Structure formats: C-alpha cells, structure tokens
C-alpha cells in the first residue's frame, strides 16, 4: 500500500521535473527517500538555471572566462556586506541561547543566511566551473553532479553512488565558496587521494586564477602554512586535526599554519565522521621530561627548618611585632593551606641546587616543585588525606571518607606526595592535546559531505553534525543485481562455497571483487584460491597508492581481487581496465613527468591502451560486468552497501552477493541462536545452504542492533569529550588572545585586582578595626605574591576601605615600576611568554588529571551515581581551580621577572618528543570480540548494559515475533510461539 502511494508521488514529481525542465536529466527512482524526492524538484530548477547559462558561457574566450572570477568576487564582497548585519545578529543570538533545540534552529537559520551571499550568482558560478572543466580536465559535469554540488554548497551531505564522480562535484561549491577568500578545505581519507584530487582537479581552479594546496604527512610547517594560505586546500582529516592541535601549542603567531575554519567538504564523509570518529586524535608525549626533579626536591625538605603557623601564633606575633619567619626556611599556613619559602630558605635551596635564584623563567619550575613538596610534607597526611594502596597514592574524600581512585591532585602535588612516600612516580606518557573529529569538524562555519552510503546513518549525521542527507539519483539507471544472502552452517562450508563461486566466475573470465572483513581472512582465502590455481591480488589498505593501481584494474577480464573494506577506496573500477593508469605507469617508466616529451608519450600510450581496454570492456560487459562477493556481513549495513557499490557504476552491468555463516562474529554475537535452532530443526545437512528472506531479515535486524550500539559508544565518547571541548575552547581561546597580543595590560590589572580581593578576604575579612586585622599575614602575602613591602605603621591609621585602596595603589605602583625598569615592549613580551608557559604547564597537567579522572570514574560508578554527571562535576571543579591557578601564578611570576633575552624562552611542548595518535579503527564497525568484556573507558555502565545478547523486553508467546518475520501470504507478523519461540 505504502509502496503504491510512494510510486504515485514519485511519478508525479518526475512529471513535474520533466514538464517544467525538459532539458534537465534527473531521473527519480524508488530507492530515494521521500525527502530526497521532494528536494529534487527544487534542485532541478537550479540545475536548469545552470544549464540555460551554458550557451552564453561557452561562447566566452579563455581570457573572458578567467576574468569572471574577479567579477564574482566583487559581487560576493558586496553581498557579504549586505548580509553582514543579519549574520552578526544571528551569531550573537546563538551565543546567548542555551537550549539545544533553539540553538540548532538558529544554526540552521545562520546557514541559510550565510548562503544568501551566494544565492544570485550560484548558477553562473557553477556554469563557469562546468565550462572550465570541459576545457581543462575534459569532463562536463552531469546534471546529477550539478545537483550534488548544490547540496554540498548548502552545507549538507550529497549521497552519490560510487563512480558518480564526486571528486568533480566538489569543484563546484569549492570554487564558489573560495571566492569569499576565507579558504575551503576538501578532506579525503588518505594522503594519496588528497594528492590525486589536487592534481586531478587543480587545472580547473588554476585556470580560474585560484590557488590550491595540498597537505601531506611529511610536510614542514612552512609548507603547510603555504598550503593553508591557498584558496582551496586538500588534505586528510588526520592532518587537519593535528595541525589544529599543534597550532595551539605554539609560541609565536608567525608559526601558526592554519587560518580559519570556514567551509569543509568531507569526501567519504561516513567513514570520516562516523567510523573514524570512534576514537579521538591525540598528541601524546612524556608526562614529565624527568620525574627525577621530584625526588631531588623531596630530599631537600628534611634539610630545611620549617614552621607551621597557627592562627594563635599569628595573633601573638602581631602583638609582639615579631617576624614569624625569622630563623626559618619555610612557613606553612594551615588555615590558608599554603606553604612558602622564606628568603633564608630560598638561598639555602639555591645553594643546594646550585642555581642563582628561583625567580627566573627557567628556574621558576623548581620553585613551583619546591612549594608543592613543602605542602606534601606538611599539609597532607597519610591515611587521612590519602592512602597508599598497591604502590599508588589514592585520595580520600575529605567529606565522605570515600577513596577516590583515579582522582589526582593537580599541579605536581600528587607527584610530590608520591615522592615523599618513596613510590614510583607513574607518568610515562600523557595526552598533550586531543580532539575528537566530531568537535573538530563542528568548528567549521559550514560543513558538507559526500559519500555513496550515508542514508543508514542519517539520524546520526543530523543529531551530531546537523547534516541532512540528500540522495542524488544516479546519472544513469543502476542495473546491478543484488542476490540474496547465502547462509551456511559453518565457516568452513561458507568458504568452500565462496571459493566455488570465485573459481567458476574466474573460469568464465568474469572479474570478481571479493570483500573480507580482516586482513587475516583475506590471507586465508588467498591460500584457498592458490590451491585452486586461481590467480588473484590481495589488498590490505596499507599502501594506498600501490593498492589504487591494483584496484583500478579490478574490472579486467579474469581479474580476481581480494580486499578489505578500506582497501583501494576512492579509486574507480572500470570494466575492461583503466587505460589511464596503465599509460601513466608506462610513461613514467620511460620518461620523467617533467620531461617535455612526457605528455606526448602519455597520450600515445593512452590511445594504445584504450584500444585494448575498449575491446576488453565489451567482453566483460557481455559476461555480466563486475561481480562483488562479500565473504561476511559487516556490523553496519552501510559498509556492505559500500562494497556492493563497487559494481554497477554509471549504468554498468554487475551483481553482488554476500555469504554468511552462523559462525561469523556478527551472527555469533548478535543472535544466531535462533538460526542455529531453526537449521537444526529443519535438519539441514552439512553443505546445505539457506537463502530465505527471513534469514536476510534477521541478519539486518542484528546489524541494526550493532549500529545502534556503536552509535551509543560514539555518543558517549562525544559526551565526555564535550566536557573537555568546552574547556579546550576556553583555554585555546585565552591562549590565542595572549599569543596574538589582544590580552592586555588591563586584563592583568584586573587579575591583580581580583587577587587583592582574595588577599583582603583572607587577612582582613569584614573586620573594620585594625586591631583585628592580620597585618603580619597580609605583609608576608604581599611580599610573597607581589614582592612588595608594607608600611605597617601607616596602614594602622586607615579604615578598611582605605586599606583596600592603599593596597591596590601599592601593587599597581610596583607593577608600573617594573614596567618602567624593563621597558614597555619587554614587559608585554615577558607577560605574554609567562602566560603562555603557565597556561601550557597547567593545561598539560589538567589533561593528565582529566585522563585519570576519566579512567577512574568507571571504577567509582557503583551505586546510583551516573559517571558522566560525576565526571562533569569534578571536571568543572578542577577546571575552575586551574584557571585561578594560572592567573595567580602568572601574576606572581611577572612581579618577580628580570629582563630576559627573548631567545631564552622555550615552549612547554617544544622539548617534548611527541607522538601523533589516532587509534586506528582497522575494522570499521568490525566485530569486537565479546563486547561485554571489552574495556572501553568511554563506555558508561549504561552503554555497557547494552550487551549484544539482550533481546529487549520479554516477549509473550502470542506477541509478534521480535525478529520481524511476516507471513508471506498475508503480510501479517508471525506470532512468537510459531516463529523463534517454537
């Protein structure tokens, strides 16, 4: 019934398109979603507009065409001025809105508003690119490609089948958006494809006077910077993400490589934003250049003479006018939970360490460690504040007395306690910077994607990235036959059947592309085929360039190619073989590509090979085209569809079939019990095969469940990362303003003001009479923090407010004094360096603490506590402490600064050897053995409970069977007792 209605709608819309725009070649088909069908009518109108400009644009000379770029640029510039107020307005509203749904609505409006700038000239811009493509790369964008380009320009996902020419599609919105001058990023899955696409499409942009760059893994910062400065930059998600992180670890504006995050077009978007998004990007490095420092400092403490000051002592001292620190090396204030070195103490420590002072930018780290060690020795008590268990210091919560595994004191205090306890300081490697792809790509003002397979994950794209999926009909009708699955009892039987089918086709000469889910299985299959004398190739997604060469020829007569899912992706499989690859290879063997005769040689070879492949093409088409054979179902339907899509490109004939055994991970883990039962009951003999829609259906249900499960994992990862993301935004934002010099003297003065308030609160409180003030404490704090003295006689004549004013006057004077002696420029420079260093040290430490918190939180997640809530709460608290810590420490350091040569500054990260990690997902959505047991810190107990075998609520015997089986005769659901519950 539904199908019938859909058909009517489809016909009606098709008629609408054909009648109104008879020249537009867009053919709707029943596989399109309703929303895509509706969308097509609107797209057809724009495609028509592009088409009708063609005669005019084609008549232009090369020079005239080239001049168009300036014309359009000018237009866009004007338009962006027109829409600027509206956009600004929306941006501001966006900042003030907190409700997620509202936010999303505004974001959508913003997207539309930003696109208005281009609205009028879109058809002309696209028509120009199409014309230039004809003249340069010898391709004319098909109408379906124009439609796909519009969708990308709008900031959505174009779902276009393999072989539809997505590389060319991207040129349309890339050109148009690049005219705004803020850079367009085109993201691909590997370096080889980035380079290929840049070279392949480059001539189009270059013709039009745009600059193009490509980022490659082994490039220097200088090269990267140049590439990012281009109008259009190709590169991989990993490189872009790491460059972002690295930029935020730098100490000079001129070192930054990236510019803005304006518009990104992500190729193979499902693989990047879904499969790869399961793990974050991490830059990691040694946690500590050396843990030695802590032990050295720890040994010094017993040699110092300290005094613990109680409130009583202070009051006494005040009356007697006694200096409490006299004769002591350090003072510990229990009330304020602080410790500091006296002048005597400092010189003693300097002697022992054999350094000049503790206030230099280079030595201030020692001072910091020293203070933490003093606190560790004097303020933290074993078995009260912490316990030592299994060689580790575990914090005890001061209010509840609960042990808090995973929680660490920050700022080096934890290590100081570890040193004091004589424990091994465990800091081998730590995260120095991290971001998930979700959060990286959400930084772009406009994000778009393209892939052959997005629809099954449309929900996730929408909810996480705000991306709609629009399926673009193929340029030519798809005529591939998808056979139903062939299900076997054991894996061995399955492989026998697989080898049987491959051998049969091989003998006929028909090309076969065999998909496996692991390299291991590829190797096994390869062994079996060798024994049968079937010549074949194996691809492992390791050597992208070489594998592209092989996969390009996978459509040749008698070719058998075994590949894991990722292998050779992005490379087109032409039936009969790819003459361009062959010609290029041979030409390169003969001549260097920059040889003046290279092009000619290449053309000659191409002609020659083309004759060969054309003949072979005919032969392969007669045999039925490329057959795709899946040796196992993946956990996601999407990945299966990708494999299938390798055959039947651009109206080619082809077919596909998946083989499944009950021993496959998917079936084993996600509900094959029923199937085994059924097969036993049916008395299936060894070697017998089932091909039944019911079985296919139940496989699909299993897949949907795994998809959902994996989505949960990604959502969890994201929820945890969102906490960190907000903090990262704040810190990177602050860091950037320091780096760029927009963080000013006023900001420092206001921090000083805040510190003054704190000091007042501690030592003066709201006590009005000077009798009650803690003047000695005040004096020593001022000395400590700002290195200034206090005229105690003078202040005794003041009231509280006057005191506050006096205080702030003194501090500011001291600050101005410092500025005068160092010179304004030097002062600003030093301030910047101090802030950057302290931000980095503290942030690094914070990241370490956050890692630990994340790991530990799972252990604490007993009882009713939601670990995510706990995590958020503690992370928030730690972050607040870190921020005030940064401000205080930076200001204290600034007051003690001596002039220093600029080159003496070393970035916190500069000496650290870094590793760039993106924990590789070798099997996209691949079965994880025993999901229940898996240790995934990202997964909360909530997600863990989603154990694969759980089949949901209990099913009554008369309820419809949960497997979804329907009576083929009536179409009604079959009762549980008559189906799986038998």
Binding mask 572-601 for ligand ADP (x = CB under 6 A): x-----------------------------
Least distance to ligand ADP, CB of residue 450, Å: 8
Q: Does 168 bind ligand ADP (CB under 6 A)?
A: yes
Q: Does 654 bind ligand ADP (CB under 6 A)?
A: no
Q: Give the binding range for ligand ADP (CB under 6 A) out of 139-147, 509-517, 528-536, 547-555.
A: 139-147
Distance CA 405, CA 403 (A): 6
Partner whose binding site includes residue 631, from ligand ADP, Mg ion, none (CB under 5 to 8 Å by kind): none
Least distance to ligand ADP, CB of residue 165, Å: 2
Tokens of 691: 């091909």
Partner whose binding site includes residue 486, from Mg ion, ligand ADP, none (CB under 5 to 8 Å by kind): none
Of 198 and 494, the one with the shorter C-beta distance to Mg ion is: 198
Q: Does 474 bind ligand ADP (CB under 6 A)?
A: no
Report the residue closest to Mg ion, judged by CB. 570
Distance CA 714, CA 645 (A): 26
Q: Give the binding range for Mg ion (CB under 5 A) out of 20-28, 162-170, 322-330, 868-876.
A: 162-170
Least distance to ligand ADP, CB of residue 139, Å: 4
Of 489 and 544, the one with the shorter C-beta distance to ligand ADP is: 544
Total residues contacting ligand ADP by CB under 6 A comes to 14
Q: Does 154 bind ligand ADP (CB under 6 A)?
A: no
Task: Choose, by CB under 6 A, the member of 16, 139, 528, 749 that binds ligand ADP.
Answer: 139
Partner whose binding site includes residue 842, from Mg ion, ligand ADP, none (CB under 5 to 8 Å by kind): none
Tokens of 463: 């909810």
Q: Does 480 bind ligand ADP (CB under 6 A)?
A: no
Check if the beta carbon of residue 714 is closer than 8 Å to that of residue 277.
yes
Residue 421 is classified by DSSP as T
Partner whose binding site includes residue 142, from Mg ion, ligand ADP, none (CB under 5 to 8 Å by kind): ligand ADP
SS3 669: helix
Task: Choose, by CB under 6 A, the member of 56, 81, 105, 140 that binds ligand ADP.
Answer: 140
Check if the beta carbon of residue 495 is closer than 8 Å to that of residue 516.
no
Residue partners of 727: CB distance under 8 A and separation at least 6: 846, 875, 879
Task: Report the DSSP beta bridge partners of residue 512.
Answer: 560, 627
How far is residue 349 from each of residues 57, 294, 368, 377, 675, measured CA to CA in Å?
A: 79, 14, 12, 16, 75
Q: Does 570 bind Mg ion (CB under 5 A)?
A: yes
Residue partners of 229: CB distance under 8 A and separation at least 6: 183, 211, 213, 259
Q: The tokens 């095969």 sit on which residue? A: 689
Least distance to Mg ion, CB of residue 198, Å: 14
Partner whose binding site includes residue 409, from ligand ADP, Mg ion, none (CB under 5 to 8 Å by kind): none
Alpha helices for 220-321 (secondary structure H): 221-229, 237-247, 269-270, 292-300, 311-320
Q: Does 166 bind ligand ADP (CB under 6 A)?
A: yes
Beta-carbon count within 10 A of 22 CB: 8
Least distance to Mg ion, CB of residue 191, Å: 15
Q: Does 131 bind ligand ADP (CB under 6 A)?
A: no
Q: What angle do CA 515, 234, 91 make, to 5 degrees?
A: 110
Q: Give the binding range for ligand ADP (CB under 6 A) out of 135-143, 328-336, 346-354, 967-975.
A: 135-143
Partner whose binding site includes residue 165, from Mg ion, ligand ADP, none (CB under 5 to 8 Å by kind): ligand ADP
Q: Does 142 bind ligand ADP (CB under 6 A)?
A: yes
Check if the beta carbon of residue 146 is closer than 8 Å to that of residue 109.
no
Report the residue closest to ligand ADP, judged by CB. 165
Of 166 and 644, the one with the shorter C-beta distance to ligand ADP is: 166
Of 341 and 573, the one with the shorter C-beta distance to Mg ion is: 573
Tokens of 508: 């006929």
Residue partners of 340: CB distance under 8 A and separation at least 6: 330, 331, 371, 374, 780, 784
Task: Choose, by CB under 6 A, the member of 36, 162, 372, 553 that binds ligand ADP.
Answer: 162
Distance CA 159, CA 172 (A): 16
Distance CA 133, CA 201 (A): 8
Of 161 and 502, the one with the shorter C-beta distance to Mg ion is: 161
Least distance to ligand ADP, CB of residue 580, Å: 8
Least distance to ligand ADP, CB of residue 248, Å: 33
Q: Give the binding range for Mg ion (CB under 5 A) out of 132-140, 160-168, 496-504, 715-723.
A: 160-168
Least distance to ligand ADP, CB of residue 142, Å: 5
Binding mask 83-122 for ligand ADP (x = CB under 6 A): ----------------------------------------
SS3 85: helix
Q: Give the binding range for Mg ion (CB under 5 A) out of 21-29, 232-240, 406-414, 569-577.
A: 569-577
SS3 569: coil
**CB-based contacts of 815-823 (< 8 A; 24+ apart in sequence):** 815/748, 815/749, 815/752, 815/894, 815/895, 818/894, 818/895, 818/897, 822/897, 822/899
Q: Does 164 bind ligand ADP (CB under 6 A)?
A: yes
Q: Give the binding range for ligand ADP (CB under 6 A) out of 137-145, 183-191, 483-491, 904-912.
A: 137-145
Of 166 and 584, the one with the shorter C-beta distance to ligand ADP is: 166
Q: Give the binding range for Mg ion (CB under 5 A) out of 92-100, 159-167, 300-308, 340-348.
A: 159-167
- Residues of this chain, 519-548, that bind ligand ADP according to CB under 6 A: none
Distance CA 99, CA 617 (A): 58
What burial letters (b/e) apply to 614-641, b meaning 16+ CB within 10 Å?
A: eebbeebeebbbbbbbbbbbbbbbbbbb
Distance CA 515, CA 521 (A): 10
Q: Give the binding range for ligand ADP (CB under 6 A) out of 164-172, 278-286, 462-470, 778-786.
A: 164-172
Partner whose binding site includes residue 139, from Mg ion, ligand ADP, none (CB under 5 to 8 Å by kind): ligand ADP
Partner whose binding site includes residue 728, from Mg ion, ligand ADP, none (CB under 5 to 8 Å by kind): none
Least distance to ligand ADP, CB of residue 170, Å: 9
SS3 662: coil
SS3 150: helix
Q: Does 163 bind ligand ADP (CB under 6 A)?
A: yes
Least distance to ligand ADP, CB of residue 171, Å: 10
Which residue in 436, 435, 440, 433 sits closest to 283, CA to CA? 433
| 109, 112, 117, 123 alpha-carbon torsion, rounded to 10° | -170
For the residues of 574-634, what is the DSSP string, one character each? -TT--HHHHHHHHHHHHS-TTSTTHHHHHHHHHHHHHHHHHHHHHHHHHHTSEEEEESS--
Which strands form 306-309's sheet, in the order they lie side by side? 306-309, 330-333, 338-341
Least distance to Mg ion, CB of residue 167, Å: 6
Q: Does 25 bind ligand ADP (CB under 6 A)?
A: no
Binding site for Mg ion (CB under 5 A): 166, 570
Report the interface residues with ligand ADP, using CB under 6 A.
139-142, 145, 160, 162-168, 572
């Amino acid at each position: 019934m539904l199908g019938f209605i859909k058909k009517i709608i489809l016909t009606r819309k098709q008629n609408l398109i054909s009648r109104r725009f008879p020249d537009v070649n867009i053919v709707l088909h029943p596989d399109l979603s309703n929303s895509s069908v509706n969308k097509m009518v609107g797209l057809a109108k724009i495609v028509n507009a592009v088409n009708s400009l063609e005669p005019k644009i084609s008549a232009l000379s090369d020079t005239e065409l080239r001049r168009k770029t300036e014309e359009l640029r000018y237009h866009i510039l004007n338009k962006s001025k027109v829409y600027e107020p509206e956009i600004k307005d929306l941006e501001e509203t966006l900042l003030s809105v907190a409700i997620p749904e509202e936010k999303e609505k505004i974001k959508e409006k913003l997207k539309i508003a930003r696109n208005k700038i281009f609205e009028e000239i879109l058809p002309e811009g696209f028509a120009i690119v199409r014309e230039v493509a004809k003249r340069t790369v010898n391709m004319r964008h098909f109408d379906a490609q124009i439609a796909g380009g519009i969708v990308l320009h709008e900031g959505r996902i174009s779902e276009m089948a393999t072989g539809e020419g997505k590389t060319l599609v991207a040129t349309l919105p890339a050109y148009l958006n690049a005219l705004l001058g803020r850079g367009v990023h085109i993201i691909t899955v590997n370096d080889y494809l980035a380079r290929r696409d840049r070279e392949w499409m480059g001539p189009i942009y270059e013709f039009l006077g745009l600059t193009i760059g490509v980022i490659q893994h082994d490039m220097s910062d200088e090269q990267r910077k140049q590439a990012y400065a281009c109008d259009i930059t190709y590169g991989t998600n990993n490189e872009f993400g790491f460059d972002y992180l690295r930029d935020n670890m730098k100490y000079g504006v001129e070192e930054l490589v990236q510019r803005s995050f304006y518009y990104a077009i992500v190729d193979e978007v499902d693989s990047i934003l879904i499969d790869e998004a399961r793990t974050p990007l991490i830059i990691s490095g040694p946690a500590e250049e050396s843990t030695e420092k802590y032990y050295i400092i720890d040994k010094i403490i017993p040699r110092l003479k300290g005094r613990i000051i109680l409130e009583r002592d202070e009051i006494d001292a005040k009356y007697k006018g006694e200096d409490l620190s006299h004769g002591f090396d350090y003072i510990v204030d229990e009330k304020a939970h602080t410790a500091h070195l006296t002048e005597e103490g400092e010189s003693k420590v300097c002697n022992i360490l054999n350094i000049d002072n503790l206030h230099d930018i280079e030595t201030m780290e020692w001072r910091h460690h020293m203070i933490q060690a003093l606190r560790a020795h004097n303020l933290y008590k074993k078995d009260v504040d912490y316990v030592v268990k299994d060689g580790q210091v575990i914090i005890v919560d001061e209010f509840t007395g609960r042990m808090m595994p995973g929680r660490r004191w920050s700022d080096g205090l934890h290590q100081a306690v570890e040193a004091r306890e004589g424990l091994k300081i465990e800091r081998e490697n730590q995260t120095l910077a991290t971001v998930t792809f979700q959060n990286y790509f959400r930084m772009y003002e406009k994000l778009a994607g393209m892939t052959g397979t997005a629809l099954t994950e449309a929900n996730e794209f929408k909810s996480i990235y705000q991306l709609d999926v629009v399926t673009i009909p193929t340029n030519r009708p798809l005529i591939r036959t998808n056979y139903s699955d062939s299900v076997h009892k054991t894996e061995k039987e399955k492989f026998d059947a697989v080898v049987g089918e491959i051998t049969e086709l091989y003998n006929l000469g028909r090309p076969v592309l065999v998909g496996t889910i692991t390299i291991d299985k590829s190797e096994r299959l390869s062994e079996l085929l060798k024994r049968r004398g079937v010549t074949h190739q194996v691809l492992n997604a390791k050597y992208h360039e070489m594998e592209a060469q092989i996969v390009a020829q996978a459509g040749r007569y008698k070719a058998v190619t075994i590949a894991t899912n990722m292998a050779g992706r992005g490379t087109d499989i032409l039936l009969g073989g790819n003459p361009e690859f062959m010609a290029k290879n041979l030409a390169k063997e003969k001549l260097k590509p920059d040889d003046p005769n290279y092009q000619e040689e290449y053309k000659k070879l191409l002609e020659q090979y083309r004759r060969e492949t054309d003949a072979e093409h005919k032969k392969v088409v007669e045999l039925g085209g490329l057959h795709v054979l899946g040796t196992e179902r993946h956990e996601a339907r999407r990945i299966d569809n990708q494999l299938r899509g390798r055959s039947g490109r651009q109206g080619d004939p082809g077919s596909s079939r998946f083989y499944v055994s009950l021993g496959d991970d998917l079936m084993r883990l996600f509900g094959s019990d029923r199937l085994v039962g059924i097969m036993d009951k049916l008395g299936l003999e060894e070697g017998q095969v089932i091909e039944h829609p019911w079985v296919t259906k139940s496989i699909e249900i299993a897949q949907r469940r795994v998809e959902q499960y994996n989505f949960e994992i990604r959502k969890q990862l994201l929820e945890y990362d969102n906490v960190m993301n907000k903090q990262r935004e704040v810190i990177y934002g602050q860091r950037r303003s320091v780096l760029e010099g927009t963080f000013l003297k006023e900001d420092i003065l206001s921090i000083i003001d805040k510190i003054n308030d704190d000091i007042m609160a501690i030592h003066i409180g709201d006590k009005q009479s000077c009798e009650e003030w803690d003047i000695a404490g005040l004096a020593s704090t001022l000395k400590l923090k700002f290195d200034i003295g206090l005229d105690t006689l003078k202040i005794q004549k003041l009231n509280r407010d006057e005191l506050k004013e006096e205080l702030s006057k003194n501090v500011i004077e001291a600050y101005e004094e410092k500025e005068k002696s160092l010179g304004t420029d030097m002062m600003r420079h030093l301030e910047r360096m101090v802030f950057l260093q302290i931000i980095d040290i503290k942030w690094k430490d914070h990241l370490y603490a956050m890692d630990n918190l994340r790991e530990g939180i799972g252990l604490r997640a007993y009882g009713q506590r939601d670990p995510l809530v706990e995590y958020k709460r503690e992370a928030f608290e730690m972050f607040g402490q870190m921020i005030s810590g940064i401000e205080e420490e930076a200001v204290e350091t600034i007051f003690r600064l001596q002039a220093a040569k600029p080159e003496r500054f070393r970035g916190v990260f500069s000496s650290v050897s870094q590793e760039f990690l993106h924990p590789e997902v070798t099997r996209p959505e691949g079965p994880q053995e025993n999901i229940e047991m898996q240790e995934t810190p990202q997964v909360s107990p909530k997600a863990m409970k989603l154990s694969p075998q759980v089949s949901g609520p209990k099913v009554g015997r008369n309820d419809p069977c949960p497997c979804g089986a329907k009576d083929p005769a009536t179409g009604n659901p079959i009762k549980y007792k008559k189906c799986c519950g038998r």
